[in-house]
Structures are given as C-alpha cells and as structure tokens.
Homo-oligomer: A and B are copies of this chain.
C-alpha cells in the first residue's frame, strides 16, 4: 500500500459539495470513481476540509491509499483521464508517509472569497463570484474584519449544522482588498467552523453597503448568537485556496 497526497482543483457548480452524498454528485465521489477505474480499488479519498455545494477548490489537499503498484505521476495522469467529464483535476500528486493525513495533519487552511461589485450581472464568472450591485466601501469592510481576527467564540458565524466540538477558533487573517470592481476577502486559520467564512463575508458586505456600522460586526461576534448573523454570503464566490502541513522533516 502506498499513500498518495493529492492537490485537487474543482469547479463547485455541479456538485453537492466535497463530501460523498446519496442525493447528488460530489467531488469525493467523482475522485473515488476515478480511483476505482484506474486501480480496481474501492477506497475513500480524504480531504483537508469539506466544502459546501457550489463552493470551489483551487488547491484542496486530499489523500488516498492504493495497493496497486503505480507511480505518483502516472496516477495523477490516469485520475485526470478517468475523472472526466467532471470538472475535477488533480494538479499534483506525491507519495507520502502512511501517517500523513490530509485532514488531521493539516495545520492551516486558507479561503478566498470573490465579490464582483457592479450592477451588471456576471457572464464569464457566473457561479464563480458573488455579484453585489450596491457600492461597497472596502475600507470599512477591512476595518470591521479586524474585530474578527484572533481567538473568539464564533457561534454567531456558525451554521446550525456545524459538527465542530467547539465554536472557539483562532482566525489568523481576514483581509479585504479592492482592485477595480473586484473585492476579495482572504481568510486563514488552523480550521474553520461550518459556514464561518461565508457568514463573515456576508456581515462584512453589510458593512460595505452601509447597512451595518463597522462596530456591528464586533457586536454580532460578542452576541454569540446565530440570530445576530446579518447575511450568509452565497457559495459562488468561495474558494478553498490552501492547506498547510508541517514540513516532512518535523514529523515524529
């Protein structure tokens, strides 16, 4: 048996999300079907994190155990050939230690959220960004975001379906940058609660629209009450960007 670490890119539009579902297509099921086609083996592909329906991945990390003798490059090429026409691609593949786990070894996760701030509907980017017609004050959004950085109880920004043991998390980074009519929000943490990024983005957008004051984000956080959530941003604009692991040399 060899354990392979995969870097996976996917277009979330046709999927119910990363995780295998009985009621619709998933990225995980598409990859597992490709592994079966390539190796004849029925296996689980484990990811660094789950993503919701419609959320995209540019560099999701995953691992899979395979008995068949196959090199990492050939496995990557074969998976890409077999996973079609699903919009999933393995962009990197390497053999890793048997105790390397895409989810449990992961010490950092980063997401990006893309807003197109204009009145006109999206064309090329339909389903790939959140179109917000009201003018957004990105400076106010950036200021409000800082209240969320650090160690907090993120109950307000947590889905009712969140399975995390605790709502207390440390948010390492929440940056808001405008370039032309694009407003991009980048979030980094060891881990996130279910819907946390979309919930934070939704509230920041309310600030950007002027419907919330900058201080309202801190107040919503302080309330520790999901009912205080202003807005959950749609999945379209959310991208899983990076999973961070300790360097191999530091593994015990």
* A positions within 8 Å CB-CB of B: 9-11, 56, 58, 76-77, 80, 84, 87-91, 118-124, 126, 128
Contacts and interface: CB of A to CB of B under 8 A. Distances in A.
A123 B77 contact: no
A27 to B, nearest CB: 10
B126 A11 contact: yes
Contacts of A11: 123-124, 126
A223 B170 CA distance: 64
A124 B120 contact: no
B121 A84 contact: yes
B121 A80 contact: yes
A99 to B, nearest CB: 27
A120 B87 contact: no
B77 A126 contact: no
A141 B137 CA distance: 41
Contacts of A90: 120
A122 B56 CA distance: 13
A25 B24 CA distance: 31
28 contacts: A9-B120, A9-B123, A9-B124, A10-B123, A10-B124, A11-B123, A11-B124, A11-B126, A56-B124, A58-B124, A76-B119, A76-B120, A77-B119, A80-B119, A80-B120, A80-B121, A84-B121, A87-B123, A87-B124, A87-B126, A88-B123, A89-B120, A89-B121, A89-B122, A89-B123, A91-B118, A91-B120, A124-B128
Nearest to A81: B121
A105 to B, nearest CB: 23
Residue of A77, A88, A91 with most chain B CB atoms under a 10 A cut-off? A91
The 8 closest A-B pairs by CB, nearest first: A89-B120, A87-B123, A11-B123, A11-B124, A91-B120, A9-B123, A89-B121, A89-B123
A187 B80 CA distance: 33
A122 to B, nearest CB: 7
